[in-house]
């Protein structure tokens, strides 16, 4: 039986996006006969003080929760200490558990987990797979993280590239990310694109009149443009804020923001300071009501700073598409999300900073219900054709199956020889 170890700082019952994605893949592989382990922390994404049990057995997956510091995400130094403590604790567990031919799947929380996994794989004759939700240190550079420059940047990039080149497979979440990885000298046949996904079996389109949340939140007979999920440093909100200011006298239009994140707090503060009463803010909703909360908006907006194209892919697009809602992509034209929206005609693309175009698009969509219905239907068709949960899990099964066939020796030295040749 093939043994697979996933390495990520959070895992269920945590509700963060990577936790849910990892849980789907891990439990699916366990159901297919793999012996699956997850090495993770005892924290929750939004509760660093949490102390989850050190071991658990969840739907066929053996969970190893390691001790770490618990400063949380509020300050950069504290976050770095949390990362370092996770590296050290994960190293000790992996050094004890890893055997020849095991597959180590390193995710990107914390960043550069692939370096730990690579060293363990070298020592124990295991196989390395990288699952890249983002590209680090490029993301840190784009977000102007202190100290990530000069010799430090060059060293980190060199080491990271080494872990990509040595891996039997690098799973990325978008085609532009695949291009950026290939540009680092990584062989294309060692790059696999598996987009993220949503609970598309449970999340289906629901008419506004059938949605209890819409009535409870006082949004009956309103046109609602929504945002759902984490609004972080990679996302911009100035365009939405400026458009909302232009539309402030139109009391039929409401901007609904569901979720959290540093930028969400800033958006709420700015809206309050400008006296914008057309915003409504709600906390993260439980998984059980997600299908209803995603269906509250008539359209959803997504944003990504242009400098982060190809480094991050906002996975919330798949939940929006599952709900059959049009997508307002405030992203650079030619970017990952913009390409999908334009190719499948399931929304509109707005260049970041063009608040006038956004306000005009909102007014047009508010007045044209048949257009919204058409765009929403095409969003769901896009999902069903290319991005369902079952399709993604099938692709993960294929990656592991191909590794079984092509890496029977399971040794990292065999991978290195193949990469060099």
Residue 311 shares a structural domain with residue 323 = yes
pTM confidence score: 0.93
**SS3 string of 105-155?**
EECCCCCCHHHHHHHHHHHHCCEEEEEECECCCHHHHHCCCCCCCHHHHHH
Q: What percent of the chain has pLDDT over 70?
A: 96
CA 142 to chain centre: 17
Q: What is the DSSP letter of 312?
A: B
| Residue 231: predicted pLDDT | 93
pLDDT per position as a tens digit, 283-316: 989 888 999 999 999 999 999 999 999 999 999 9
Indicate if the pLDDT at residue 151 is higher than 50. Answer: yes
In this prediction, residue 405 carries a pLDDT of 79
Residues 227 and 149 in one domain: no
Mean pLDDT of 243-270: 96
DSSP code for 39:
E
Domain that holds residue 254: 208-386
Do 369 and 404 sit in the same domain of this protein?
no
151: which residues sit within 8 A by CB, 6+ positions away? none
CA distance 327 to 346: 6
Q: How far is CA 245 from CA 250, 289, 364, in A?
A: 10, 30, 17
For residue 392, which of 25, 7, 15 has the smallest C-alpha distance? Answer: 25
**Mean per-residue pLDDT, 22-46:** 96
378 and 405 assigned to the same domain:
no
Pair 137, 102 in one domain: yes
Which tens digit of pLDDT belongs to each residue from 186-225?
Answer: 999 999 999 999 999 999 999 888 899 999 999 999 999 9
Type and span of the H or E element at 33: none
State residue 416's pLDDT score. Answer: 46
| Secondary structure letter of residue 70 according to DSSP | -
Instruction: Give the pLDDT band of residue 1 (cuts 50, 70, 90).
Output: low
Does 120 share its domain with 154?
yes
270, 271, 272, 275: CA torsion to nearest 10 = 120
Q: Assess if residue 203 is contained within a domain.
A: no
Report, as an integer, the average pLDDT of 22-28.
98
Asked if residue 375 has pLDDT above 60, the reply is: yes
Same domain, 219 and 185: no
Q: Give the pLDDT confidence of 47-97 residue by residue, as tens digits.
A: 889 999 999 999 999 999 999 998 887 788 888 999 999 999 999 999 999
Residues 155 and 220 in one domain: no
Looking at 183-236, list the stretches that DSSP marks H as alpha helix, in order from N- to C-terminal side. 212-216
Tell me the CATH number at 321: 3.40.50.2000
Task: Measure Cα distances from 142 to 88, 139, 258, 310, 388 in Å.
Answer: 27, 5, 26, 12, 30
Query: What whole-number distance in Å separates Cα of residue 6 and Cα of residue 105?
Result: 5
**Is residue 353 situated within a structural domain?**
yes
- What separation in angstroms does the CA of 306 have from each of 140, 173, 318, 320, 361? 14, 17, 20, 21, 20
What end-to-end distance do the CA atoms of the chain give, in Å? 30
Q: Count of CB atoms within 10 A of residue 204's CB? A: 13
Do 163 and 216 lie in a common domain? no
**Total domains present in the chain:** 2
Give the pLDDT of residue 417. Answer: 43
What is residue 408's predicted lDDT score, i.e. its pLDDT? 56
Using only C-alpha atoms, the chain has a radius of gyration, in whole angstroms, of 22
- Domain check: are 74 and 174 in the same one? yes
Across the range 247-263, mean pLDDT stands at 95
Report whether pLDDT(339) > 50.
yes
> In angstroms, rounded to a whole number, what is the distance separating the alpha carbons of residues 158 and 164?
10
Residue 245 falls inside a structural domain: yes
Peptide bond into 307 cis (omega under 30): no
Extract the tokens encoding 145: 């993280």
pLDDT at 409 over 70: no
> With pLDDT > 90 as the criterion, what percentage of the chain qualifies?
87
């Amino acid at each position: 039986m093939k043994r697979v170890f996933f390495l990520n700082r959070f895992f269920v019952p945590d509700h963060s996006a990577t936790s849910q994605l990892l849980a789907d893949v891990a439990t699916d592989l366990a159901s297919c006969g793999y012996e699956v382990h997850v090495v993770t922390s005892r924290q929750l994404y939004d509760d660093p003080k949490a102390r989850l049990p050190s071991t658990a057995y969840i739907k066929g997956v053996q969970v190893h929760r390691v001790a770490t510091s618990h400063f949380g995400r509020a300050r950069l130094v504290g976050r770095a200490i949390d990362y370092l403590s996770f590296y050290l604790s994960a190293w000790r567990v992996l050094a004890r558990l890893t055997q020849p031919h095991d597959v180590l799947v390193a995710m990107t929380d914390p960043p550069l987990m692939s370096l730990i996994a690579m060293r363990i794989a070298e020592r124990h004759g295991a196989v390395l797979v990288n699952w890249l939700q983002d590209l680090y240190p490029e993301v840190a550079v784009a977000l102007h993280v202190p100290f990530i420059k000069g010799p430090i940047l060059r060293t980190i990039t060199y080491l990271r590239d080494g872990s990509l080149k040595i891996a039997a497979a690098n799973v990325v979440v978008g085609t532009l990310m695949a291009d950026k990885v290939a540009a680092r000298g990584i062989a294309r046949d060692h790059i696999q694109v598996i987009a993220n996904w949503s609970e598309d079996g449970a999340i289906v389109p629901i008419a506004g009149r059938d949605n209890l949340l819409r009535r409870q939140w006082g949004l009956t007979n309103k046109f609602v443009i929504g945002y759902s999920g984490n609004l972080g440093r990679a996302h911009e909100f100035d365009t939405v804020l400026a458009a909302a200011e232009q539309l402030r006298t139109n009391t039929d239009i409401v901007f609904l923001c569901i979720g959290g994140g540093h930028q969400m707090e800033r958006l709420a503060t700015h809206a309050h300071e400008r006296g914008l009463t057309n915003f409504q803010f709600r906390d993260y909703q439980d998984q059980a009501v997600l299908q209803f909360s995603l269906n509250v908006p008539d359209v959803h907006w997504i944003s990504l700073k242009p400098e982060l194209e190809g480094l991050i892919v906002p996975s919330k697009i798949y939940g929006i598409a599952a709900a059959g809602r049009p997508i307002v992509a405030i992203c650079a034209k030619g970017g990952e999300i913009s390409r999908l929206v334009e190719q499948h005609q399931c929304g509109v693309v707005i260049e970041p900073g063009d608040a006038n175009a956004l306000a005009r698009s909102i007014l047009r969509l508010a007045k044209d219900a048949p257009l919204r219905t058409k765009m929403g239907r095409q969003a769901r068709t896009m999902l069903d054709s290319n991005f369902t949960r079952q399709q993604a899990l099938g692709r993960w099964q294929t990656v592991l199956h191909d590794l079984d066939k092509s890496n029977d020796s399971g040794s990292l030295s065999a991978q290195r020889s193949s990469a060099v040749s």
